Structure 1
């Protein structure tokens, strides 16, 4: 289990708790960063980071549940695991509804927590990969000319080249050129592949 590309943020106002978790995770080759408050975490989070957040529920200032709300508002993709010394069922339910991946009570079962962290890091990598693909698709779409967009929209609607040419008032040869260019820019190998990519980019088939 390695975490060279991931950061585990430990958020707890209890220094001993932070150091204990940090020691456990570091001994497994994981990189950790400790924060004494939710505000400290929010001030240092990087937008494209891969990792997860371990946050205590009861902290002075912003609580762990309030932190969850703020992370949701910011669209932070990092999975969050909540830890508390005074947990109860309603609190756990609220934490999960706010997007927490899991809820542990102190004293924490170290190996159970490590297993959950492993899952959180995999989820973070999956989310990061999906965001990269989404951004790449957006760049490809942005590279299309206005005419290439019109032709691609025709392909998306299931029209043949001849129908697209008639609808746009251009020659069949011109449609073929723009369709070829659109497919090349989008990285599509076929009309079906182009449609798949356009739908993934948020285009409507209607």
Structure 2
């Protein structure tokens, strides 16, 4: 394993995996020149055996390597919940392989030898995508924690509000008074830190799918 480190724990890092030491060294120096750290490995198995840093970044994988291929590694890492964008490099690329890589979520697929700027552009785009993904994930976790503080009735009201229902309709659907709906709605908005329906809808959309699809309570309790 080789490391080039020029930044902080929050600075981007590229995980380079290639069985050619010269390629690893060259790409590492290239990335370091634009402020992206790199950690290099000579095989997919080395990556699987290592503890990867929890930092924004991307994977740069050689497709054809002894043992596990880059495509195999991408799949195994995804199964572990490591969802960094992937830039594939290959000296033997073909259409079928690139299609397989893209279907598996590859950020880019480049054929060696690749121009320096083309490589840097691909990695920069992948890193930017990972930064955005991590930011969205943090927002989702925060809003999920707020959602957990709601009572069952407040969750029902929330789901009806974001569906576009007015207080009168919500009261009818839930079998409670409109005044009670407004009370639940006010408490729900406060707990979700939502200052407007637009804020509330954004928070709702950021929640994990299983939370948004959970059936509402059918009780008539207040």
TM-score between both structures, scaled by the size of structure 1: 0.83
Residue 176 of structure 1: how far off its partner (Å) = 2.4
Inter-partner Cα distance in structure 2 for 1:157 and 1:105? 47
Taking structure 1 as reference, are residues 83 and 162 closer, same or farther at Cα in structure 2, changes over 3 Å only?
Answer: closer
Residue 8 of structure 1: how far off its partner (Å) = 0.6
CA RMSD of aligned residues (A): 2.7
Correspondences of 1:18-29 after superposition (within 5 Å): 18-29=24-35
State the match for 2:127 in structure 1: 121
Taking structure 1 as reference, are residues 157 and 41 closer, same or farther at Cα in structure 2, changes over 3 Å only?
Answer: same
Taking structure 1 as reference, are residues 188 and 101 closer, same or farther at Cα in structure 2, changes over 3 Å only?
Answer: same
| 3-state SS, counterpart of residue 81 of structure 1 | strand
State the match for 2:51 in structure 1: 44
Inter-partner Cα distance in structure 1 for 2:14 and 2:73? 16
Correspondences of 1:57-206 after superposition (within 5 Å): 57-165=63-171, 167-201=173-207, 202=209, 203=212
8 A Cα contact 2:16 2:24, kept in partner: yes
8 A Cα contact 2:136 2:206, kept in partner: no
User: Structure 2: which 5+ residue stretches go unaligned?
Assistant: 1-5, 217-222
Inter-partner Cα distance in structure 2 for 1:196 and 1:34? 39
8 A Cα contact 2:139 2:206, kept in partner: no
TM-score between both structures, scaled by the size of structure 2: 0.78
State the 4+ residue runs in structure 1 displaced beyond 6 angstroms.
Answer: none
| 3-state SS, counterpart of residue 108 of structure 1 | coil
Residue 186 of structure 1: how far off its partner (Å) = 1.4
